[in-house]
Amino acid sequence: DTAVSQTPKYLVTQMGNDKSIKCEQNLGHDTMYWYKQDSKKFLKIMFSYNNKELIINETVPNRFSPKSPDKAHLNLHINSLELGDSAVYFCASSQAPPMTGALSYEQYFGPGTRLTVT
């Protein structure tokens, strides 16, 4: 039983193309995320959605557009792909955090999508 799944696992495409990555979680979590891990292994948050509502957008180029049709899915669409977009993209989910207080919940990551732009 895969908790957080992503498709495709590998994606090779040419510059200028448009592509999508899909993510689904069956954990019943309210919050989902997209992260980018670059060639230097630096993992950085891109977006976060809580109950289908965008709550974090980390100054990502607007060529990247997340879409959450329901709270179990968070897809990432990328327009006009560039060489610098080559990376591993991880989807993650967690319980919704309390609006006050310091508690953070564990984030569960999908297996990643390795995107190569040529």
Partner 1 sequence: RKEVEQDPGPFNVPEGATVAFNCTYSNSASQSFFWYRQDCRKEPKLLMSVYSSGNEDGRFTAQLNRASQYISLLIRDSKLSDSATYLCVVNPSTGFQKLVFGTGTRLLVSP
Which residues are near partner 1 by CB under 8 A?
Answer: 31, 33, 40-45, 48, 50, 55-56, 90, 94, 97-107, 109-112
Residue 50 vs 75, nearer CB to partner 1: 50
Torsion of CA 19, 39, 55, 103, to 10 degrees: 140
Residue 80 burial class via C-beta count within 10 angstroms: exposed 0-12, middle 13-18, buried 19 and up? exposed
Closest separation in Å from C-beta 20 to partner 1: 20
- Closer to partner 1 at the Cβ: 14 or 100? 100
Toward partner 1, which CB reaches closer, 44 or 79?
A: 44
